[in-house]
Structure 1
């Protein structure tokens, strides 16, 4: 993992040949993503956001708009920048939009500018985290599963690109009208508390600890963001009834996730397809420049 697909012949790496191949084998390729969880197209002449967008649109998958704290910029049609937070910071492992009612099934990443050092996008088989957590902390997992989880996150009004969680609520909800923002938040399954400084505290819950998705061998995915949000400056994670999560359980979970992580070095033109229902992903600290673009699909 990831499964790497390269041009069958030296002269078949152009974008036109790639698009023809994908169009002729759409069902096969989609099943490949589910079977392998991650598929990397490498060695094809994918140059820019326009090429990447054509690849994304080849499959006819419905677009899903990103909702979350990461600062992002729209580039072209269905293409956005990945998290624009400081490259020196580690973006913790997560399923994309794991807290929203409808998460994307597929996440596509395009490496336009590979970093000179670091900047990997590590991936983690989510079911392995569940297996190991159940093995080490059966009672704690059972309690969290039974009670469900509650999360909070605090956002400013405007974007703060100096933080990897600096997306303001106006950008996140696509409006500067508080009433409209509340409606949109409610539709996504979250409540809001307005703060004196113009920011907002979002409350999400109850949310499940694990999920089982069709076509993935009945595996329980560690479909939460407990480690990423527990006890942080702008966020919290507790059980849905307010019970605090055991510190040692959260700490050990973070260690297990890291132990199960898989990484590869980005190369220019790489296009990575991730099964967002099966994999956690993150971002290692990087030296600049690094430019990875993203698209999300239902």
Structure 2
């Protein structure tokens, strides 16, 4: 297996990559040779089939793996790569407005490109969340629009170093979150997904059943919207096969004190604002600024990385698949 991947891939470099704890993020895999038949979809699918286990190991070891320079042109090509891995997809549940494109492929957050999508682990608050987030750049933005990402364990390490007592307190008490959504989608907001779309029903009773299955409770509002209450949830998590690292597996910064959301201790006590403010700074300091090129396919270990989206000039079209 060690030698087989070299028939199809060579390790390259990309702007914005960073070495973290001895590992380059993202690791860039390019066609092994310049010839066109070494970079076409047929060759890529063959390469994935023959090196599937090795590629999965790379995603877990490196956290971010980028396929660059292959002729991946559209949602159908992107879906074929996902199908070749044999991964089962998991339906997205969350506030981001998204549209189904083709089979396992969806649009990424359709909120205005001028808005920053804050760093998060995908579906971090759900009982079940994807292990892998795979992104495909169909149209690269002319400026901005980076999908930045952050090694989650580094956030935990630095927060423990600077706020040992506060982190211990949040760890012991666990966390609770709330989020308010309208009934219909509002694409003028990066968090504008309506509850009818999120729960795939316009029936409040069915929505409540589906919400409970996901580990959340609903409070109905007079304007037809709903307040979602989620908790208790942990502050950090340790996942098998990732060096025993404590991942900053929460969304405190993304939901604390925002217009339509909140984050508190599970017992209702407040989290100190200075802790959240400093955590946001640390996440930014640890972020890796990945710049898109057309045809890029980027694999994230969702258990190890937070990711977000920088503001962008149009056009930009990035598609996504979330898999177990």
- Structure 1 length normalisation: TM-score? 1.00
Shift of 1:177: 0.6
The SS at the match of 1:152 is strand
Match of 2:261 in 1: 235
1:9 aligns with 2:56: no
Match of 2:281 in 1: 255
Q: Give runs of aligned pairs for residues 182-261 of structure 1, distance below 5 A.
A: 182-261=208-287
Shift of 1:10: 1.4
Q: Give runs of aligned pairs for residues 1-298 of structure 1, distance below 5 A.
A: 1-11=25-35, 12-298=38-324
Q: Which runs of 5+ in 2 are unaligned?
A: 1-24
CA distance in 2 between counterparts of 1:42 and 1:206 reads 40
* Offset from partner CA, 1:8-64 (integer Å, 9 cap, x none): 011200010000000111111000000000000000000000000000111111110
Shift of 1:275: 0.1
Shift of 1:2: 0.3
- Structure 2 length normalisation: TM-score? 0.92
CA distance in 2 between counterparts of 1:166 and 1:280 reads 21
The SS at the match of 2:222 is coil
CA distance in 2 between counterparts of 1:178 and 1:86 reads 28
CA distance in 1 between counterparts of 2:51 and 2:290 reads 26
Moved over 2 A (4+): none
CA distance in 2 between counterparts of 1:284 and 1:57 reads 29
The SS at the match of 1:10 is coil
Q: CA RMSD of the aligned region, Å?
A: 0.4
CA distance in 2 between counterparts of 1:165 and 1:150 reads 18
CA distance in 1 between counterparts of 2:305 and 2:129 reads 13
The SS at the match of 2:306 is strand
Q: Which runs of 5+ in 1 are unaligned?
A: none
Between the two proteins, the alignment pairs up a number of residues equal to 298
The SS at the match of 1:164 is coil
